[in-house]
Amino acid sequence: NAGVTQTPKFQVLKTGQSMTLQCAQDMNHNSMYWYRQDPGMGLRLIYYSASEGTTDKGEVPDGYNVSRLKKQNFLLGLESAAPSQTSVYFCASSYVGGGEDVYTFGSGTRLTVV
Amino acid sequence: QKEVEQDPGPLSVPEGAIVSLNCTYSNSAFQYFMWYRQYSRKGPELLMYTYSSGNKEDGRFTAQVDKSSKYISLFIRDSQPSDSATYLCAIGSGGSNYKLTFGKGTLLTVNP
């Protein structure tokens, strides 16, 4: 099983450009999440989706949008990239979404905004 | 007060040492306690999971939960250079609350 696959692995954007980070899971998980990880800040939740077609804001949603049109895919969009969005982005998924579930993480997307 | 506090370290120990990693939390509704390990330039992966007070062992790793003190620990016995990674505690309340709350992570280096 591939688990959680994130594309691209690396990306450099210019300020103001837009892009979409893609996440796919093949475990039939109900819930999916987008985190960003910055030095000294830990993992911060951007958006999550409890089920196909639903999304909710996390701790740091400003400047991002998401889409969960299919159960296996969760897309993170940057409408107008800013240097403050330079970070490592992780997608994760879990089966039910309760605290008993194990999160499976992707390997990350390293984004640099110049 | 943040919901989950974790000493970021860094922590450097010699090979064979016993390592203790700790987190405190503030919300008594938390019921599920996990430790994730993250190697450099990789995503976090689950290391240990427990939902009750007490100890849980898995090989060289022991997860300890004290709900009365809102304190969780991860012990690593006979530490190896391959244990060098960032360790993140993660806590969940279950039910309709979908989100885990992560600590900031402790960077551990085990020196040969």
Residue B67 touches partner A, C-beta closer than 8 Å: no
SS3 B40: coil
pLDDT at B10 over 60: yes
pLDDT at B96 over 60: no
The answer to whether the CB of A61 falls within 8 A of the CB of A78 is no
Residues A93, B95: Cα–Cα separation, whole Å = 17
Q: pLDDT confidence of B98, banded at 50, 70, 90?
A: low
pLDDT at B97: 56
The answer to whether the CB of B108 falls within 8 A of the CB of B13 is yes
* Alpha-carbon dihedral A10, A27, B99, B88, rounded to 10 degrees: -60
Are β-strands A75-78 and A19-25 bridged in parallel, bridged antiparallel, or unpaired?
Answer: antiparallel
pLDDT at A39: 87
In percent, the amount of chain B with pLDDT more than 70 equals 95
| pLDDT average per 10 residues of sequence, chain A (114 residues) | 91 97 94 93 91 93 97 97 97 74 90 97
Closest-CA residue of chain B to A94: B98
Q: Which of B38, B50, B100, B102 to mutate to test the interface with A (most CBs of A within 10 A)?
A: B100
CA-based Rg of chain B, rounded to a whole angstrom?
Answer: 14
Q: pLDDT confidence of B17, banded at 50, 70, 90?
A: very high
| CA B89 centroid distance within chain | 4
Residue B43 touches partner A, C-beta closer than 8 Å: yes
The answer to whether the CB of A21 falls within 8 A of the CB of A10 is no
Residues of chain A found within 8 Å of residue B50, distances taken between Cβ atoms: none
What residue has token string 């090979």? B15
Q: pLDDT confidence of B28, banded at 50, 70, 90?
A: confident
Please tell me the number of Cα atoms within 13 Å of A75 on its side-chain side: 11
What residue has token string 């016995």? B77
pLDDT at B18: 97
Measured over the CA atoms of residue A85, residue B46, residue B68 and residue B10, the dihedral's sign is negative
Q: Which of B42, B91, B100 sits opposite A103 (nearest CB)?
A: B100
Residues A78, A92: Cα–Cα separation, whole Å = 18
Average pLDDT, whole number, for chain B? 91
Residues B52, B56: Cα–Cα separation, whole Å = 9
User: A109 or B9: whose pLDDT is higher?
Assistant: A109
Q: Which of B87, B99, B107 to mutate to test the interface with A (most CBs of A within 10 A)?
A: B99
User: B111 or B93: whose pLDDT is higher?
Assistant: B111
One-letter amino acid for residue A31 of the chain: S
Q: What is the mean pLDDT of residues B51-71?
A: 92
Q: How close B9 comes to chain A (CA, Å)?
A: 10
